[in-house]
Structure 1
């Protein structure tokens, strides 16, 4: 018995199909990825030329869950198995999807260096799932003859699948080598840094010597950065070769016969997908990959000429080190029978031995392709070099002898990969030029108000004078001092003083704000004093002081209108701060009260205000203080504290150069170079006054400074008494030079 089955009914008219909207969604994801990849490729291209001086650590398209998700959306058409008939544009977009994925993996390459081992495994697993899914789906479509053009499309797609698998294998091979490469780079960096530290031990460097030291650490950090190390791998060159050929083959797809008359289900949106992937990424990638290969060949020609070196056929140990380590590791799973454990261990060793063999063959193939590409573009490289020399000769833009000698002198601080004999001089010159640019950048944004403030400080007396030992403690314990909180409190008091021109107050706030930036960085270095909570209190209070002229919600300028006497204003600030501390002690748990490091930010700030205002009141207990006189004394104290604090600038800059992990070191040295440029005039001022060599053995801590100054004061107390002048009064000769 047979049954008649009616044709399926359409759920909706063709005009109401959701496929064009889905196509727009795919095009949007593709466009976002294309923009990120284009910027990332441009950054890689620009970093290949030393004159542009762009930082090496940027990455607009890293290998992470976000970009993998967008990439999966962008390559939806390649995995689409539901379309029975394909149009010409469908074929072309499926082809473009593979090129798009190849270009994406090439851009993922440099992010391998910035990831730890766990992130590498996680992200590469996700990438592998995506690649395998695309390959399997395309194979299914080829098996069932989904592609209607039997002459060209299947052949091109098979070639692109081969390119896709080669790129994926290259990424995996490079990821296996990254931990060993980073370990070697870190070892070489520590060796060079150790030798440099031994030369610097016990010496107070001049400003120019500090600048040279920053340049040395910058060369070490830049040449040994994971991002630049991965760009110097032969596998990175190989992925660019694949990108170039993949883009050229996809270009042939434009001339595929348009005999397919089927309309795409994505309708008009299919063109948006094609534009967002092909025209936005494939053409720029082909151009950038070509220029990049020419630049790499130029560096290689500079080092070895036109001959083939031994390194071209040598497999470095870091390529197989991780696999060998896994093969030698014991099995973590416990087995009762020794024979079973031995069998599993043998199987594991056999599998890993096979993986090592595949790794060696893959790297040999990459090296072979790299050599072929080198000799392919060598004539063009020779032509470009010849034209470049002619242009430089006639335009007079040859590099000076001083810069060449500097390159030769700093060449010993370059971190080379295993198998590298020499670092390209042009690239090294660009690295050195970059650090000079960073220093100049810092000079342009230097703290000019802070410099004028410090130029008035002829002693460090204010480090002791702001807090008298005669002031009784409100609670059982006192928190340790940091550099920033006294400056914030003294500036708050100075703002509250009446009859001071607003331009002078604004200048002081601006000067203190510039100084607090560096004082905060120095406070962070003093880890043993556990100043995190005190520093946080200073940051919280300073926001209100700088922006609103408020101290803990107290309007400092409003007080000047209500209380005319300067002494009454100081007394009012003292009473308010004392009340805050006492209310805290009566309401909080006794365990928190007895440990000052756990006090809230407002209580720490109030305790600082109480002690400093009480110290001022003790000084003026026998008479009335004048507004201008007190304002001048407060400025001297702030200048003294910041001057003592900023004698630690060389140590802070030096710590930034050496105290970071390999993934963050380049950024840290970059910050050190900018800070040096900003503070170079201050460092020269300290050098002229010979202040850099003055201070306690541990100058990072303000309490160490206070103890050292008190000890120095004790030895000269008799002469100071005979002169009839206190240490505070000795600062009265300072001339106030505030900006109008």
Structure 2
């Protein structure tokens, strides 16, 4: 008989240990992240239910399903337990990641997880039945199998409830948003900065309380799965303490007790890493679980009512829908067979509903048992939370605000109001995000906007008297004219480098926000036109080059301001005409297919020709034109950034449930960054003015053309606070630097 070659076995074991270590690192980061950020858990970043981690778990549990090797040594048998417990604890980490999945992803990942779990269960049962495993560890093996199956049932039970939970959360959220809009009187709430801040706060509370990851931690199954993880760690610890105990079974005592594992030294690494996987996250999750229970104790005390055993409708709603759905099979044309299949399906799902109900009741019972068993620890945690909380004493105004905000907490059926301390923590985190945004305020942009004299005709940068180079003009966007005007200002001679660099920094900050507004305007502006400005701006910003034209060389080669503008206009005209002569007519006749450099050149041609047309044969003073260009740039940015409240509002209206938490978090940071800008607009009474479609610059231009048909005068406030009258004509305003 040929002896088998076991030389590569230790290296295979090392590979299994490495997979276990990688899973351990991800799980421990995931546990600490969830604990430290609770209840603001975003979609799981480190360890989630997906193909990557399921593959690594399959590798890490390889020894559990090894049916070809006898594996008679005590360490081999211990790895069976550690791998099973390791898989159980890992599944407990998967629960919160279900909240970020849609129905298809959830079904696919749960199917893959089911295959892995049942493979492990069947393999271990086969090994138990064939006597491969040491019967001295029989209790630990049985308990690990039961706990693994219980964890799997709990995660499936939660997955069945999540679609119905998300429907309820989405419906409640949209209802509260409509109530907010109705109470605020529509868009009038966006005119005042404080009203905008209050709207962000309300939507933040709704987003956090309705965050799927946070909702999962409030389910009874989350408590149950943490209990299973804790019990699994105790089972593994019990198995480790009995590792050196002599086997009570005669066969194992005489023959197998001194057997060495085929995996040799690598089996110790496997056990060590999987033990760490078991103990690390369990400790963190136990602390989190105790904290959750302390919140429950804070509101309800130690009294448990019958309502705790009520099975809410969302647990079985998905199964009810499946039972009521009809079977669609074109092959079956016999009504009798179809009726039989439909009745069979109804019976199956009725049984599943009954089983789901019993499982939920058992889960809730285990949670209540854990609550009373851990009551001393809960008392201690609750006492420490009160002592360490900085917001233990709150003013009457704060309490009044919390009472108002409590109406915007999204709760599920049977769920009581969130504790006040947790609501204070939620509001406090929003303030931190806003303050974080204030630390990144665009101060250069704010100084530029203060130089604007916004009035009718304030952003007319393109004259209709300039003839088109091609048959059709492309639609415009906010960023492209700002970039073009800044390029002209940078190219002007006899301007101090300090003023040029300051203008570039200010415009660069403004373009970032203007690009956000352009992204919202999907109806009027195409993506290619939006990207043309960013392509040309990078050269101006980094190298002071517009396309292939070095703005420094342009200044040195010419002798007057008029020649600088003429040079830019001629170069832009050359680029457009070269494209029209060499490009396909299908592309030339459709501006949406123009390259980025052609779109930028067309904008440069029209704006530079407009400036030449305005001055005619008159004098060109570089300093005077530089100030006028600054004023024009500031006016365009003002007209664009008036839409900031609308931009912020879209963060909590037009987004999916899974993305809403992160989106409103970004809205809070954006509000902090632009709060001073919005206050400046509010002081000048600019918020709320403009056309009915403020996102589009072309709508702005048409609106101002209609306004200029009735000449009037408007006043604007200068930086020193004095008022200056500006006639509503086509002249640009000269603003002192």
TM range (shorter): over 0.9
- Matched with 2:501 is 506
Residue 20 (structure 1) aligned with residue 10 (structure 2): yes
Retained in 2: the 8 A contact 1:585–1:593?
yes
Is 1:639 the counterpart of 2:639? The answer is no
Aligned alpha-carbon RMSD (Å):
2.2
Paired position in structure 1 for 2:183: 199
In the alignment, structure 1 residue 375 sits paired with structure 2 residue 372: yes
Corresponding residue of 2:2: 8
Contact 1:248 1:286 in 2 (8 A): no
SS in 1 for 2:191: coil
Equivalent of 1:678, from 661, 673, 677? 673
In the TM superposition, what is the alpha-carbon distance from 1:626 to its structure 2 partner?
A: 2.3
The answer as to 2:109 corresponding to 1:123 is: yes
Q: 2-side partners of 1:391 and 1:453: how far apart?
A: 45
Deviations along 1:204-255, one digit per CA (max 9) or x if unpaired, are 4311111011000011111111111111111111101100111111111111
Query: What is the rounded CA distance, in whole Å, between the counterparts of 1:632 and 1:462 in structure 2?
Result: 17
1:615 is matched with which residue? 610
The answer for the alignment partner of 1:359 in structure 2 is 356
**Compared with structure 1, are the counterparts of its residues 498 and 594 closer, same or farther at alpha carbon in structure 2 (3 Å cutoff)?**
same
Classify the secondary structure of the residue corresponding to 1:246. helix
Task: Spell out the pairing of 1:653-732 with structure 2 (5 A cutoff).
Answer: 653-716=648-711, 727=729, 729=731, 731-732=733-734
Indicate yes or no: 2:310 matched with 1:326: no
| Counterpart in the other structure of 2:250 | none
C-alpha separation between the residues in 2 aligned to 1:508 and 1:58?
42
Q: 2:521 aligns with which of 518, 526, 544?
A: 526
Which residue is 2:25 aligned to?
35
Report SS of the residue matched to 1:623: coil
> Judging changes above 3 Å, is the alpha-carbon distance between structure 1 residues 730 and 631 closer, same or farther for their aligned structure 2 residues?
closer
Structure 1 distance, partners of 2:355, 2:49, is 24
Q: Confirm or deny: 8 A CA contact 1:460 1:644 kept in the other structure.
A: no
1:72 Cα offset (Å): 1.0
Q: 1:417 to 1:586 in 2, by over 3 A?
A: same
What is the CA–CA distance in structure 1 between the aligned matches of 2:619 and 2:176, rounded to whole Å? 61
Cα gap change, 1:725 to 1:647, in 2 (>3 Å): closer
Moved over 6 A (4+): 717-720, 723-726
Separation in 2, partners of 1:105, 1:336: 43
Q: Which residue of 2 aligns with 1:3?
A: none
1:117 CA displacement: 0.6
CA contact (8 A) 1:487 1:638 kept: yes
State which drifts further: 71-80 or 176-185: 71-80
Distance in 2, Cα, partners of 1:86 & 1:503 = 80
**2: CA distance between counterparts of 1:183 and 1:651?**
26
Matched with 2:736 is 735
Between Structure 1 and Structure 2, how many residues are aligned?
A: 714
Q: Structure 2: how far apart are the matches of 1:143 and 1:255?
A: 25
Judging changes above 3 Å, is the alpha-carbon distance between structure 1 residues 111 and 147 closer, same or farther for their aligned structure 2 residues?
same
3-state secondary structure, aligned to 2:271? helix
In the alignment, what sits opposite 1:4?
Answer: none
Q: CA deviation at 1:598?
A: 2.5
CA distance in 1 between partners of 2:88 and 2:316 (Å): 24
Checking the alignment, whether the CA contact within 8 Å between 1:454 and 1:643 is kept in structure 2 is yes
**How has the CA–CA distance of structure 1 residues 625 and 519 changed in structure 2, closer, same or farther, with 3 Å as cutoff?**
same
**SS in structure 2 at match of 1:473:** coil
Q: 1:388 to 1:704 in 2, by over 3 A?
A: closer
**Structure 1 residue 543 displacement after superposition:** 2.3
Worse overlay, 57-66 or 159-168 = 57-66
> Residue 428 of structure 1 aligns with which residue?
423
Distance 1:460 1:644, change over 3 A: farther
Aligned residue in 1 for 2:56: 70
User: What's the offset of the Cα at 1:390?
Assistant: 5.5
Give the drift of 1:46.
2.3
Task: Tell me, yes or no, if the aligned pair for 1:181 and 1:318 is still in contact at 8 Å.
Answer: yes
Q: Residue deviations 1:476-504, cap 9 Å, x none?
A: 11111111111111122222222322222
Which of the residues 281, 284, 287 maps onto 1:288? 284
The residue aligned with 1:414 is 409
Q: Which consecutive unaligned segments of at least 5 residues does structure 2 have? A: 247-256, 716-724
**Structure-1-length-normalised TM-score:** 0.92
The answer to whether the 8 Å contact 2:43/2:99 transfers is no
Q: Give the deviation of 1:401 after TM superposition.
A: 3.9
The aligned counterpart of 2:219 is 233
2:439 is the counterpart of 1:444: yes
- Deviating more after overlay: 451-460 vs 687-696: 687-696
